[in-house]
Amino acid sequence: MTPYLDPKSHLASLLEQALLQVAADSMPLIELDRPKQASHGDYACNVAMQLSKAMKRNPRELAQAVIAALPASTLLEKAEIAGPGFINLFLKPAAWQGLAAHALEQGAAFGGGNVGRGEKVQIEFVSANPTGPLHVGHGRGAAFGASLANVLKLAGYDVQREYYVNDAGRQMDILALSTWLRYLELCGELVAFPGNAYQGDYVKSMAAAIHALHQTRYQRTAIEVAQGVPDAGEDAEGHLDALIANAKRLLGPDYAYIHGYALEEQLGDTRNDLTEFGVTFDTWFSEKTLHESGLIDRAVEQMKQHGHVYEQNGALWFRSTAFGDEKDRVVRRENGIYTYFAADIAYHINKFERGFSRVLDVWGADHHGYIPRVKGALSAAGLDADRLTVALVQFAVLYRNGQKASMSTRSGQYVTLRELRGEVGNDAARFFYVLRKSEQHLDFDLDLAKSQSNDNPVYYIQYAHARICSVMNSWGGVERDLLDADSGLLREPQELALLRRLAEFPETVNAAARELSPHVIAYYLKDLAADLHGLYVACRFLDVDEPLKQARLLLIAATRRVLRDGLGVLGVSAPEKM
RNA sequence: GCCCCCGUAGCUCAGUGGAUAGAGCAUCCCCCUCCUAAGGGGAGGGUCACACGUUCGAUUCGUGUCGGGGGCACCA
């Protein structure tokens, strides 16, 4: 079997040799792209038009000169001048025929692009506060981040996935308080439950569990709890903070138990939910450890040494305006407590110190104003902020009965990721989440997603895979034996179209990695499935002459492999039967 | 007020500094004696929001305008 030669790089090298003769002085970048129309060849090159101005020559004339200088090649059928000066290159079928065996032989390595070069990359995503179940908004970040991590891995990066656990902030205190108040209700204490505390039933469940385990051990009287607390109607947040302060004072060391219980419970739930969704992490990084280990002090000190921190009104400020932010930011409040921002600075400095050449954060689009601040802080600490890339994911807006549904965790009125998965299935959920590019708002129509509709694109792709499996199972042979098939017999238009499509997979993976856009994989798979279905209807596989049968089975075996790997990147299963 | 995203077919959305701008859904017409019809083939449907600029060439890049969504805490 002749070794497979990538047609694109082959053509690029032919053109380069030709250009050395025609335009050695002003070698342009050689661009080869796939024309939309088959009549324009397999690849088109616009180099003549780019050169025409510098060389003061008519582009069509230049193109003619380039074509005349092209070295002989067994793979090139012909080269034509077209339109204003395109060079359209037509390849012989032989250029593609070897692809099937090549792809099958390479296996998982076939999709492996080359942009990554083993570079260490960290991707942090989801990182939702562990204060309640994940909702459908978190689901998009989870699906996007996990798919992107897979894309990067396939493209040759050394990827680490991390979840930042906000276990130290006010939100956790509110959850602990909410749980305790529900617990007090079970103890028979008449305490008003604040409207801005966590309303969800899971809070009551945790309270009931604590009550069952410890009975009235954490009971305090309603009067003590409400002591000195401002009226909720006048100052709702102050009301909450005063209740938290009372809880800490009244419970003493026991407060840590309630807090810890709620945290473990919710984090465990989140972890299970994500694992079931096919989303896993290598590390779970605790915000609390930043406070305890003194990393925040160190981070602020580091910025101070570079002269970017000052004191005003008793608070410590970071001069972020010096780094393009619109106003300076507080890092340590008047009350001596560090802000969330300060912890985040320490966290990002820590990420850099862990040896990643690139750090990727996946954030909700509402955090966009936060980017200059964090980047500025990294610069202020003397680090290269360009190593941090923030991928913003727009909101997934949920529609129920044609109406927007609320997704606030505190109000308790949201559709959980778990509910969504249960209703539409993991495959459809994962696929739909990444079908839109991340900058695009995602309208998730629950009713539509719930209805088991047949026009579902994920089924279309899975069906292509199942169809191949069906043929392969009827055949019953060993896949590896097909590698010796005579692929020169693959001449039908549908066969060649499929071969060309398969050849695009590695460059598609590279593009998806470069653009941080897993959705291009989804669109590629739709195209690949369409080519397979086209072939399936046009050609028979099993009841043809043995050599042709082998060649066609080789082709669909390679296609199956790419379908499976591609779906795997998106976290979608590739069923053998449907 | 400032900042971010979006504006492409009736709908939901891809896409590209190039040659006739695509897909799915919806509408209409055709294709199972045959390895899965959850499939295939065809038809209709467009001022790529608008204006100006950069360019040999702009739907793509830049600026502005209009429209939709989101964000601008000593919250996290």
A50 touches strand B (CB under 7 A): yes
* Distance between CA atoms of residues A132 and A141, nearest Å: 16
A55 touches strand B (CB under 7 A): no
**Which pLDDT value is given to residue A401?**
61
Query: Which residues numbered 219-258 in chain A sit less than 7 A from strand B, measured from CB?
Result: none
Nearest to A525 by CA among A494, A563, A487: A563
**Which pLDDT value is given to residue A452?**
57
For the cut 60, the answer to whether the pLDDT of residue A409 exceeds it is no
Of all nucleotides, the one whose C1′ comes closest to residue A576's CA is B36
Length A490 CA → B33 C1' (Å)? 27
DSSP label at A135? B
A106 touches strand B (CB under 7 A): no
Query: Which residues numbered 534-563 in chain A sit less than 7 A from strand B, measured from CB?
Result: 534, 536-543
Of all nucleotides, the one whose C1′ comes closest to residue A344's CA is B76
For the cut 90, the answer to whether the pLDDT of residue A25 exceeds it is no
Length A30 CA → B25 C1' (Å)? 39
**Which pLDDT value is given to residue A450?**
65
* Distance between CA atoms of residues A525 and A508, nearest Å: 10
Length A260 CA → B60 C1' (Å)? 53
* Distance between CA atoms of residues A13 and A290, nearest Å: 53
pLDDT band at A446 (very low <50, low <70, confident <90, very high): low
The residue that minimises its CA distance to C1' of B74 is A333
pLDDT band at A564 (very low <50, low <70, confident <90, very high): very high
**Which pLDDT value is given to residue A308?**
94
For the cut 90, the answer to whether the pLDDT of residue A267 exceeds it is yes
Query: Which residues numbered 268-307 in chain A sit less than 7 A from strand B, measured from CB?
Result: none
pLDDT band at A111 (very low <50, low <70, confident <90, very high): confident
Exposed/middle/buried for residue A353 (C-beta within 10 Å: 0-12, 13-18, 19+):
exposed
Query: Which residues numbered 426-485 in chain A sit less than 7 A from strand B, measured from CB?
Result: 435-437, 439-443, 454-457, 459-460, 463, 466-467, 469-471, 474
User: How many other β-carbons are positioned within 10 Å of the β-carbon of residue A3?
Assistant: 6
Of all nucleotides, the one whose C1′ comes closest to residue A534's CA is B40
Torsion sign over Cα A353, A356, A357, A362: negative
Of all nucleotides, the one whose C1′ comes closest to residue A465's CA is B36
Length A519 CA → B14 C1' (Å)? 10
The label of the residue with tokens 């410890």 reads A214
Query: Which residues numbered 8-47 in chain A sit less than 7 A from strand B, measured from CB?
Result: 35-37, 39-41, 44, 46
Length A164 CA → B25 C1' (Å)? 40
**Which pLDDT value is given to residue A226?**
94
**Which pLDDT value is given to residue A451?**
61
* Distance between CA atoms of residues A173 and A184, nearest Å: 16
Give the global pTM.
0.93
pLDDT band at A551 (very low <50, low <70, confident <90, very high): very high
Q: Which amino acid is at A396?
A: A
Of all nucleotides, the one whose C1′ comes closest to residue A39's CA is B19
**Which pLDDT value is given to residue A218?**
97
**Which pLDDT value is given to residue A137?**
85
**Which pLDDT value is given to residue A508?**
93
- Strand B: positions under 7 A of a protein C-beta atom: 2-6, 12-15, 18-26, 34-41, 55-56, 68-76
Q: What is this model's ipTM?
A: 0.95
Query: Which residues numbered 182-211 in chain A sit less than 7 A from strand B, measured from CB?
Result: none
Length A395 CA → B8 C1' (Å)? 22
* Distance between CA atoms of residues A447 and A28, nearest Å: 53
**Which residue has better confidence, A394 or A574?**
A574
Question: Residue A338, SS3?
Answer: strand
Of all nucleotides, the one whose C1′ comes closest to residue A532's CA is B39
Residue-wise pLDDT for A44-74, tens only, equals 898 888 888 778 788 888 899 999 999 989 9
Residue A191 tokens read as 């305490």
Mean of the pLDDT values across residues A412-439? Answer: 85
Query: Which residues numbered 110-169 in chain A sit less than 7 A from strand B, measured from CB?
Result: 129, 166, 168-169
Of all nucleotides, the one whose C1′ comes closest to residue A329's CA is B74
A530 touches strand B (CB under 7 A): yes
Length A83 CA → B57 C1' (Å)? 12
pLDDT band at A400 (very low <50, low <70, confident <90, very high): low
pLDDT band at A234 (very low <50, low <70, confident <90, very high): confident
Length A516 CA → B25 C1' (Å)? 28
A56 touches strand B (CB under 7 A): no
**Which pLDDT value is given to residue A70?**
92
Of all nucleotides, the one whose C1′ comes closest to residue A47's CA is B18
For the cut 60, the answer to whether the pLDDT of residue A191 exceeds it is yes
A407 touches strand B (CB under 7 A): no
Residue A571 tokens read as 């976290």
- For residues A274-311, one letter each, b for 16 or more C-beta atoms within 10 angstroms of the residue's C-beta and e for the rest, the string is beebbbebeeebbbeebbeeebbeebbebbbeeebbee
Mean of the pLDDT values across residues A357-381? Answer: 92
* Distance between CA atoms of residues A101 and A71, nearest Å: 27
**Which pLDDT value is given to residue A412?**
52
Mean of the pLDDT values across residues A489-509? Answer: 93
**Which pLDDT value is given to residue A324?**
83
The residue that minimises its CA distance to C1' of B25 is A455
**Which pLDDT value is given to residue A211?**
98
The residue that minimises its CA distance to C1' of B18 is A46
Length A430 CA → B17 C1' (Å)? 34
pLDDT band at A29 (very low <50, low <70, confident <90, very high): confident
